[in-house]
Amino acid sequence: FATTEIRKVPVTILSRCQRFDLRRVEPPVLAAHLEKICEKEGAKVEAEGIALISRAAEGSVRDGLSILDQAIVQTDPGQIVPAKVVQDMLGLADRSQTIELFEQIMRGETGAAIHTFRTLWGFGADPVQVVLDLLEHSHQSAVSKALGPDALAMPKEQAQRLAAVGALASAGSLSRLWQMLLKAHDEVRRAPDPSAAVEMALIRLTYAADLPGPEEALKALRNGEPLGGGPSGGGGGGQSGGAVAQARFAQPVAQQAVPQTSALTEAATLATFDDVLKLIEAKRDIGIKLDVDRYLRLVSYRPGAIVYEPAPNTPANFAGRLVSRLKEWTGQPWLVAAEGGGGAETAWEKQKREQKEARAEIEADPFVRSVMEAFPGAEILGVKQLAIPQGEAASEPPVEPEDED
């Protein structure tokens, strides 16, 4: 008898074996089994501790029993094993605090979220496990939005809190949060300082909580509506933002004004797209300037929002890099959205067209044609526009007619 990955067993052997597909045991079923084991062994473990063990076992009865054995020996015989002991043993964060952290992320409260994480980390919570808990909360909120809070296998009070987040947040925002947390989990596992990686992820998450999705942004852009953006305040938790902030989670706090006079002034002067091009040239960012000249076919522009048609071979990260630079230079959130068509020429396409038209005009000139005919094999290698210096023509003395005697 053996347990192994079925795909690794050759077909000739598999055909001669009995096969039993073992499925993961649901946490409520495993918790009930662990409680029976505790009764027979005369051990006492808090119900919340049993729930933590059943979740940590990830559906494996064997792993659940091993963790239960470790938890029982943490206290003297006859004493109740508190849930706190199980949390510390597994490196888990307090469930209520991670739910509070999740709510702060959805409210866009950057400072409060970082403070809550530092509290959890100070009590010994594993940064990777904190991100995993947030992933679980985002999944549970999405499930409760579709099926209701009764579908969550967790304490009623916690299920209601997550259901409230799911009810007030859109499915798109929960889906984006899930994707960002997956990326954050990978970053935290590979980071030399996991706690710093979590804090940087929290900054991104709280900022994204207040940003519209692509569909909402394009709709607002077409309707000429203002775009919301920007994270909430830092130190004291800040003002609430995003869809969740409109109802139960709204906790407005006076936000300290940050001096950004130069950035705001610069942002206010970008009334046209030509002003944006001048700003890029003034900042001497050669990479962004070349990409804008090559790939951006402008569809529409208004301060804070650019809609463009991407030219062929446009890099996948072009819009993200442009948004990052414009936000850095102006201190304001920007939207750069791609559409399928209707864009004007790129700067390079316009330059090539003008050069082609100028060459055709030169070749059609009678004098040039006579020169080309007089010198067979001659070629026009290039066309340059020579600007006449101002005042040069006026400085030449007028030619006076000679007197005839």
In a domain, 19, yes or no: no
**84-90 long-range contacts, CB within 8 A, separation 24+:** 85/49, 86/45, 86/46, 86/48, 86/49, 86/52, 86/53, 87/52, 88/124, 90/52, 90/53, 90/56
Task: Report the pLDDT value the prediction gives residue 337, as an integer from 0 to 100.
Answer: 83
The answer to pTM > 0.85 is no
Q: How many domains does the chain have?
A: 3
Evaluate whether residue 293 is within a structural domain. yes
Whether residues 180 and 285 share a domain: the answer is no
Residues 112 and 152 in one domain: yes
- What letter would DSSP give residue 80? E
Do residue 166 and residue 110 come from a single domain? yes
Distance CA 161, CA 245 (A): 14
Q: Which domain holds residue 328?
A: 273-347
Q: Do residues 126 and 203 both lie within one domain?
A: yes
Tell me which of 90, 105, 122 is where a domain ends.
90
Last residue of a domain, one of 90, 120, 138: 90
Domain of 135, CATH number, reads: 1.20.272.10
Q: What single DSSP character describes residue 336?
A: E
Dump the DSSP string for 239-266. Answer: ---SSGGGTTT----PPPP---HHHHHH
Out of 49, 65, 90, pick the residue that ends a domain.
Answer: 90
Same domain for 97 and 125, yes or no, is: yes
Residue 51, in any domain of the structure: yes
164 shares a domain with 83 = no
Q: Is the dihedral of CA 234, 235, 239, 244 positive or negative?
A: positive
Q: Is 398 left (phi over 0), alpha (psi -120 to 50) or beta?
A: beta
- Alpha-carbon span 294 to 271, nearest angstrom: 22
For residues 76 and 186, state if they share a domain. no
Contact 64, 57 (CB under 8 A): yes
Residue 193 lies in a domain: yes
- Write out the chain's pLDDT in tens, 405 residues: 456 677 777 888 888 888 777 788 888 888 899 999 888 888 888 888 888 888 778 788 888 888 888 888 887 777 888 887 887 777 665 677 888 899 999 888 899 999 999 988 888 888 998 999 999 989 988 888 888 777 777 767 778 888 888 888 888 888 888 999 999 999 999 999 999 999 999 999 988 876 666 666 666 666 665 555 544 444 444 444 444 444 444 444 344 444 444 444 455 567 888 888 888 888 888 888 888 888 888 888 888 888 888 888 888 888 888 888 888 888 888 888 887 777 788 888 888 888 788 778 877 888 777 877 777 777 777 777 665 555 554 445 555 545 544
Written as six digits, the tokens of 85 are 């002991």
Same structural domain, 142 and 167: yes
